[in-house]
Amino acid sequence: VLESVGTVVRLGLAAVWLVAGAGKVADPGTFAVSVKAYQVFPDEMASLVAAIVPLLEMALGLLLLFGVGTRLVGVLSGLLLVVYIAGIVQAWARGLSIDCGCFSRGGQVAPGQTQYPLDLLRDTGFLVLAAWLTIRPRTRVSVDGWLAGRQQAALAAADDRGSSEAESAVGSNEQ
Amino acid sequence: MSGTHNGRERRQAAGARAVAAARGRRRDSTWMIVAAVVVVVLGVAVIGGVLLQRYRSNQAAETVLPAMTVPGSGQYPVELDKADATVLVGKPTARNTVDLYEDFLCPICGQFEAANFTNIEKQLQAGTIKVRYHLLNLLDNSSNPPGYSTMAANTALAVATASPGKFMDFHYSLYRKQPEEGGAGWTQQQLTSLANRLGVSGPAFDSVVNNKTYNSQINTNLRRAEADPALQQQTSGGSGFGTPTVLANGKTVNWQDPSWLDTLASQ
C-alpha cells in the first residue's frame, strides 16, 4: 500500500516540476522579471538563474516521472524547495511586494496583493512530497523498481552459483 | 568428526560472506550508475540553460528592427510638446481628443496597437480625432539592464524633435517589433539605427538621444499619471494605473470593446 502511495507522490511531484518548468520555459522574460524581483542576485546573475532553473525543474520532473534515482531526486527536489522557501521568506521579511513566480507570472505586485502564506504553504506541501520520496523511495512502475527486480533475479541466480563456487573455493583452500 | 563439522560450518560462513560481498558490490555499482544518470541529466539541464540564455541574448542584440512607414501619415500635423514630453497628432479641427498612455516594452500596449492601429490611422486622416501620445516608462525595471522603456520613449521623442513627420513611422515600427519583457530590450544603437533607416538623423536627433533630454520628464509624467485619479482603472488586481490607458475627451474608455473608437468618432 505504501508503495502505491509513494507512486502517487512521485508522479504528483513530477507533474509539479514539469508544469512549473514548462510554464517558465515558454515565457522566459516573465520568469527573469520574477527572479529579479526577489532582489537576491545582481541583474546579470538573475538572467542566468532564470534560464537554468526552468530546465532544472523539468529535468527533476522527468527523472521523477520515470522513477530514476528516486531517493536522490527526492533529496535534490527538497533542497531546491528549501531554497525557494528561503527566497519567499526573505522577500516577505524585507517587505518586498512580489508574486513568487512559482508557476510563471510573477514580478512586482501591488502591496495588498502578495500571498506569501499561501505560497509558503504550497511549497511546504511540495517539500513533504519530496521528503516522502527521500524516506520511502520505493514506488511502482519505476526504473528504480525495474532495476531492483532485475538485480534480485540476477542475485538469485548468482546465489546458487555463488554458494557452490564459494564452497569449492573454500574446499580447495582446505586441501 | 568435529573437524569435519567445523570445516563445514566454516565453509558455509565463507560462502555466505562471498555472496553478501557480491550482492553489495552489485548494489553499489547499480546505485552509482543511477546516481550518475541523475547527475548527467541535471548537468545537461544546467548547461542547456546557459546556452539558451546566451543564444537568446545574442539573438536580441543582432535583431535589426524593420523600418516600416505608415502610408498617409503625412496628411496630418505632428507636434511635440517639449515641456510636457507628449506628442499631439492629428488635424487641429478634430473634435475628439484621445490620450494614449503607453510603454514601448508593454506587451498589452503592443496588442492594443495591433488591434487599433489601422482604425486610429483612418480616423486621424479623416480628422475625427486627435491623439496625444504619452510615452511612459512604467516597465523600466522589466528589462535587463533596466531602462529600456525610458530609452525607447526618449528616442521616440528625439524623432519627434528632429522630424515630427516620422514619429508615427517610428512608433509603429517599434510596436511591430517589441523586445521581450524581461529580456535585454533593444540597445540605443538598434533604436538609433531604426530611426536612421526611417530617414531621421542629424544633430537635433543626436542631441536628444545623447543628452537623454526627456528622461526626467518621462519619469515625472509616470509619477503624475500614477497619482491622477482620472487615470485609475479597475483591473483584475485591484485599482491602479496601468498601460495602456486610453482617454477619450478626458474620460477613460474600455479599449477592449472593439467599437470604442467608432463610437467616439461618430460623436
Give the tens place of pLDDT for each residue, B165-203: 999 999 999 999 999 887 888 999 999 999 999 999 999
Cβ(A50)–Cβ(B49) below 8 Å = no
Look up cell 489601422; give the residue. B118
- Put simply, the answer to whether A162 touches B238 (Cβ < 8 Å) is no
Q: What is the mean pLDDT of residues B203-213?
A: 94
Q: In chain B, which residues touch A (CB < 8 A)?
A: 7, 10-12, 14-19, 22-23, 26-27, 30, 34-35, 37-38, 41-42, 44-46, 48-50, 52-53, 56-57, 141-142, 144-146, 180-183, 237-238, 240
- A74 to chain B: closest CA residue: B38
- Put simply, the answer to whether B182 touches A43 (Cβ < 8 Å) is no
pLDDT at site A175: 41
- Put simply, the answer to whether A32 touches B182 (Cβ < 8 Å) is yes
Q: Return the SS3 of B86.
A: strand
B78, containing H or E segment: strand B78-81
Residues of A in contact with B141 (CB under 8 A): 33, 36, 108
pLDDT at site A171: 47
Closest CA to A9 of A144, A134, A148: A134
Cut 0.95: pTM above it: no
Closest partner residue to A166 (CB to CB) among B7, B18, B237 is B18
pLDDT at site B154: 96
B243, containing H or E segment: none
pLDDT at site B1: 47
Closest CA to A97 of B238, B85, B160, B116: B238
- Put simply, the answer to whether A174 touches B7 (Cβ < 8 Å) is yes
pLDDT at site A172: 47
B38-72 pLDDT, tens digit each: 999 999 999 999 898 888 877 777 788 888 888 87
Closest partner residue to A58 (CB to CB) among B17, B45, B141 is B45
pLDDT at site B192: 94
Chains A, B: CB pairs < 8 Å: 131
- B145 to chain A: closest CA residue: A43
Measured distance CA(A82)–CA(A127) in Å, rounded? 8
Cβ(A145)–Cβ(A67) below 8 Å = yes
Rounded-to-5 percentages of helix, strand, coil across chain A: 80, 5, 20
Residues of B in contact with A147 (CB under 8 A): 30, 34
Q: What is the mean pLDDT of residues B76-98?
A: 92
Strand order across the beta sheet in which B96-102 lies: B78-81, B86-89, B129-135, B96-102, B245-248, B251-252
- Put simply, the answer to whether B18 touches A159 (Cβ < 8 Å) is no
pLDDT at site A162: 58
How far is C-alpha A43 from the geometric centre of its chain's CA atoms? 26
Helix A2-26 / helix A70-93 crossing angle, nearest 10 deg: 60
Residues of chain A with pLDDT under 50: 171-175
pLDDT at site A59: 96
Closest CA to A60 of A103, A93, A13: A13
Closest CA to A105 of A32, A43, A13: A32
In terms of residues, how long is chain A? Answer: 175
Closest partner residue to A36 (CB to CB) among B23, B48, B144 is B144
Q: What is the mean pLDDT of residues B206-212?
A: 94
Closest partner residue to B53 (CB to CB) among A51, A162, A167 is A51
- Put simply, the answer to whether A162 touches B15 (Cβ < 8 Å) is yes
pLDDT at site A166: 53
pLDDT at site B91: 92
- How many Å from the N-terminal Cα to the C-terminal Cα in chain B? 120
Q: What is the mean pLDDT of residues B244-254?
A: 90
| The residue type at A17 | W
CA angle B96, B102, B106 (to 5 degrees): 145
B131-161 pLDDT, tens digit each: 999 999 998 888 878 899 999 999 999 999 9
Residues of A in contact with B236 (CB under 8 A): none
- A173 to chain B: closest CA residue: B11
- Put simply, the answer to whether B50 touches A48 (Cβ < 8 Å) is yes
- Put simply, the answer to whether B41 touches A59 (Cβ < 8 Å) is yes
Measured distance CA(A9)–CA(A14) in Å, rounded? 8
Residues of A in contact with B57 (CB under 8 A): 47
- A155 to chain B: closest CA residue: B23
- A159 to chain B: closest CA residue: B19
